């Protein structure tokens, strides 16, 4: 019995539980090594075997290989690559790797044996070595075996593309710990994750990642054979895996002048850029009935979160930054991009699946964050970390950037499609139609409004003026034209728009083209507590949910009225208070006439 301080077999078994989210993330470690080795072609090759369960035959994954055309390894490098915590890129701050854990850690997390062939002067010069957990556990393997000359097995020659002059093949010979038991499941689940992680490499042609599967009984005919497409959670790329009409063109657009914030971070004697970028859905992507349930809407929902990118490779898509209850979140993109020089600042894990220091700040209220660290306010926390040169201080700036812009984008998106569709076909039954009829009666009674001066304009001029008025209020061009056409073509006097505004007013009123433009401010709390609740009340909601919405809307109405009451109460005695009371009386009389027609 030995008395090693840390028995090797226990260490390696612990490595098997090293926290990879699934096989796709473990496979990504091997792809990292390939790209770091200069490969522009990486192949994920899955081999299946027919097994019998009772009388039924089924296909099961029996081996998995990752083959590349990188520069290959010599004997020393190959041996080091199979050591835990070693490798050829330790401390490398210019590329994807540097932790020396990828090959053995990821491989052992998915099975008990990994085999590696690598060559630098043609496949015939291949060197071979391996790790086997069973041998380690028995005490038969204390060192990484000295690499030996060994030809690549014919099955991998057959399944792979023409082998290049240099390259590496990593084989999981016993992938018993893979969650997915079939090649189809491996490819399907890896395709989306790998496409997102390496989207920049795929999009600009630096790498091609082939995904293929074969049956042992027929190595010449692949069951699956495809190339991974970029999966861009910012949706700014073309030719991506986004399904439907947005496969070939960008579904989102950069958010104007606010599309990127560059944060300068001083660390370890250098200054480094952290880039926080933002995008949002184009208006046409969200038109029509329930775009969130279309194929591209569901694709966007799976990509909802903040994409954390290091050295052009995504570490993770952190969904905790987004409000899980709000489906609008799928229509915006946020990306944080930083260099490996800031690994300690961001808290990058050795399996490159997370930036833990930044992740700790996600979804945490600023007041709670300050209290957690023993400060009376968030501002006090920021000042203390700055004064103490705490390496996490720049991450508070990143947090502020993400949350402030995220909230603004959410408001913009909520306003984007509001008011563009009516569920009632006959305009006379809409509030706009009833208000138009009531206005005609008031005009007949001799009441004149500023908008009435435009009644004599031709319809084309009216449409242009109304559309321009809506654009000025912040409504996008296509929606403004659509609303203007619907209003003038139907002979309506009123048109509702929805737009994000910094104004403290709940709504704005402007006469244009003989009509009155009423623009509701989606940033005002009254919007969320009244309009939004009631607009959504006809969705597929339960009876209890409908009752809750109606109660909250009633509460919102009462709060609006109490706010007016307090406004009057705070006015000084005299003309100002009398004017407010008169305005309330006058508005009440007009409202009574309009509501009588409903």
pLDDT in tens, 443-501: 988 888 888 888 888 889 999 999 998 888 877 777 788 888 888 888 899 888 887 77
Residues 256 and 135 in one domain: no
pTM of the model: 0.72
Q: Which CA distances in Å does 135 have to 12, 113, 132, 140, 316?
A: 11, 9, 5, 5, 34
Inform me whether the pLDDT recorded for 597 exceeds 80.
no
Residue with tokens 């960008």: 250
In a domain, 149, yes or no: yes
Domain that holds residue 58: 8-229
Residue 114, CB half-sphere, CA atoms under 13 Å: how many? 28
CA distance 571 to 173: 82
Q: Mean pLDDT, to the nearest integer, of 183-204?
A: 94
Query: Residues 207, 39: contact at Cβ < 8 Å?
Result: yes
Same domain, 570 and 522: yes
Lowest mean pLDDT segment, chosen from 3-7, 95-99, 169-173, 479-483: 95-99
330 compared with 595, residue with greater pLDDT: 330
pLDDT for the residue numbered 417:
62
The rounded radius of gyration (Å) of the Cα atoms in the chain is 31
Res. 87: pLDDT tops 60: no
Domain final residue pick, 196, 229, 262: 229
Written as six digits, the tokens of 399 are: 């947090």
In this structure, the answer to whether residues 30 and 157 fall within a common structural domain is yes
Same domain, residue pair 74 and 162: yes
Strand partners, 338: 310
Task: Please list, in sequence order, all residues whose beta carbon lies within 8 angstroms of the beta carbon of residue 201, skipping any fewer than 6 positions away.
Answer: 35, 207, 312, 313
Q: What is the mean pLDDT of residues 109-123?
A: 95
pLDDT of residue 424: 47
- Percent residues over pLDDT 70 in the chain: 89
d(C-alpha 49, C-alpha 264), whole Å: 53
Beta bridge partners of 212: 45, 225
Say what the pLDDT of residue 93 is: 47
Residues 92 and 192 in one domain: yes
Q: Does residue 204 sit in the same domain as residue 256?
A: no
Q: Which pLDDT does position 539 carry in this prediction?
A: 46
Q: How far apart are CA 495 and CA 507, in angstroms?
A: 12
> Is residue 186 domain-shared with residue 260, that is, in the same domain?
no
β-strand partners of 514 = none
Calculate mean pLDDT across residues 226-250: 96
* Interval 242-260 mean pLDDT: 92
**Confidence at 289, pLDDT banded by 50, 70, 90:** confident
Domain boundary among 364, 385, 415: 364
Mention every residue, 6+ apart, whose C-beta is less than 8 A from residue 492.
Answer: 427, 432, 433, 436, 486, 515
Residue 317 to residue 115: CA distance in whole angstroms? 31
The 10s digit of each residue's pLDDT in 378-433 is: 999 999 999 999 999 999 999 999 999 998 888 888 776 665 544 444 455 788 88
d(C-alpha 182, C-alpha 216), whole Å: 13
Q: What is the CATH number of the domain that holds 160?
A: 3.30.565.10
- Could you give the CA distance from residue 451 to residue 512 in angstroms, rounded to a whole number? 7
Confidence of residue 240 (pLDDT cuts 50, 70, 90): very high
Q: For residue 151, tell me if it sits in a domain.
A: yes
Residue 369 lies in a domain: no
Please, are residues 507 and 520 in contact by the beta-carbon 8 Å criterion? Answer: yes
- Separation of CA 561 from chain center: 40
Instruction: Please provide the average confidence, as pLDDT, over all residues in the chain.
Output: 87
Helix (H) or strand (E) holding 588: helix 575-596
Alpha-carbon separation of residue 299 from 23, 246, 302, 318 (angstroms): 21, 11, 5, 16
Query: Does residue 165 form part of some domain?
Result: yes
Residue 243 lies in a domain: no
When divided into structural domains, the chain yields a total of 3
Which residue has better confidence, 302 or 497? 302
Q: Looking at the structure, tell me whether residues 166 and 261 fall in a common domain.
A: no
Let me know whether 442 and 574 are in one domain.
yes
Are 492 and 553 contained in the same domain? Answer: yes
Determine, yes or no, domain membership for 318.
Answer: yes
Does residue 412 lie within any of the structural domains? no
For residue 230, what pLDDT is reported? Answer: 98
Confidence of residue 205 (pLDDT cuts 50, 70, 90): very high
pLDDT score recorded for residue 541: 56
- The domain boundary, picked from 197, 229, 261, lies at 229
Q: Is residue 245 part of a domain?
A: no
Q: What confidence tens digit (pLDDT) does each residue in 26-57 have?
A: 999 999 999 999 999 999 999 999 887 767 78
216 and 264 housed in the same domain: no
- Residue 524 — very low, low, confident or very high, per pLDDT cuts 50/70/90? confident
Let me know whether 210 and 262 are in one domain.
Answer: no
Nearest partner of 300 among 384, 232, 367, judged by Cα = 232
């Amino acid at each position: 019995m030995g008395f090693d301080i840390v028995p090797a077999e226990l260490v390696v078994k612990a490595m098997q539980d090293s926290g990879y989210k699934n096989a796709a993330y473990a496979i990504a470690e091997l792809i990292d090594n390939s790209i770091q080795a200069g490969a522009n072609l990486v192949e994920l090759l899955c081999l299946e075997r027919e097994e019998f369960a009772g009388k039924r035959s089924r296909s099961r994954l029996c081996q998995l290989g990752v083959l590349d055309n990188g520069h290959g390894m010599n004997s020393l490098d190959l041996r080091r690559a199979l050591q835990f915590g070693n490798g050829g890129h330790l401390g490398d701050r210019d590329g994807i790797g540097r932790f020396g854990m990828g090959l053995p850690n990821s491989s052992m997390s998915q099975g008990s044996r990994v085999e590696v062939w690598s060559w630098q002067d043609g496949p015939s010069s291949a060197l071979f070595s391996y790790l086997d957990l069973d041998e380690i556990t028995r005490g038969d393997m204390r060192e990484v075996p000295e690499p030996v000359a060994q030809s690549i097995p014919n099955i991998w020659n057959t399944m792979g593309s023409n082998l290049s002059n240099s390259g590496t093949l990593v084989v999981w010979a016993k992938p018993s710990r893979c969650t997915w038991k079939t090649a189809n499941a491996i490819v399907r689940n890896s395709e989306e994750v790998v496409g997102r992680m390496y989207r920049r490499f795929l999009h600009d042609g630096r790498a091609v990642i082939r995904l293929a599967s074969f049956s042992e009984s027929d190595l010449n005919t692949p069951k699956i054979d495809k190339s991974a497409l970029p999966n861009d959670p910012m949706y700014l790329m073309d030719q991506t895996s986004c399904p439907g009409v947005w496969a070939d063109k960008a579904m989102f657009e950069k958010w104007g002048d606010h599309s990127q914030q560059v944060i300068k971070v001083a660390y370890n004697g250098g200054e480094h850029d952290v880039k926080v970028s933002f995008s949002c859905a184009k208006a046409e992507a969200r038109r029509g009935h329930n775009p969130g349930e279309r194929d591209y809407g569901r694709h966007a929902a799976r990509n909802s979160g903040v994409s954390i990118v290091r050295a052009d490779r995504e570490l993770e898509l952190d969904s905790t930054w987004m409000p899980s209850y709000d489906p609008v979140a799928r229509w915006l993109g946020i990306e944080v991009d930083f260099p490996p020089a800031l690994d300690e600042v961001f808290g990058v894990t050795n399996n490159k699946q997370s930036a833990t220091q930044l992740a700790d700040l996600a979804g945490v209220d600023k007041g709670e964050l300050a209290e957690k660290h023993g400060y009376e306010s968030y501002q006090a926390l920021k000042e203390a970390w700055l004064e103490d040169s705490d390496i996490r201080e720049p991450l508070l700036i990143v947090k502020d950037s993400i949350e402030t812009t995220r909230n603004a984008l959410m408001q913009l998106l909520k306003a984007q499609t509001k008011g563009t569709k009516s569920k009632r076909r006959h305009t006379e039954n809409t509030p706009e139609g009833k208000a138009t009829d009531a206005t005609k009666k008031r005009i007949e009674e001799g009441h004149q409004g500023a908008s009435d001066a435009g009644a004599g304009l031709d319809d084309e001029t009216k449409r242009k003026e109304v559309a321009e008025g809506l654009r000025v209020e912040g409504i996008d061009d296509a929606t403004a034209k659509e609303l203007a056409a619907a209003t003038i073509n139907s002979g309506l006097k009123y048109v509702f728009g929805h737009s994000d505004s910094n104004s403290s007013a709940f709504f704005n009123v402007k006469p244009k083209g003989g009509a009155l433009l009423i623009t509701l401010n989606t940033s005002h709390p009254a919007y969320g507590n009244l309009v939004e609740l009631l607009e959504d009340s006809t969705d597929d909601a339960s009876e209890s949910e409908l009752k809750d919405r109606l109660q909250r809307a009633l509460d919102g109405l009462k709060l609006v009225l109490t706010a007016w009451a307090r406004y009057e109460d705070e006015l000084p005695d005299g003309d100002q208070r009398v004017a407010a009371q008169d305005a309330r009386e006058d508005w009440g009389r007009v409202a009574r006439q309009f509501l009588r027609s409903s």
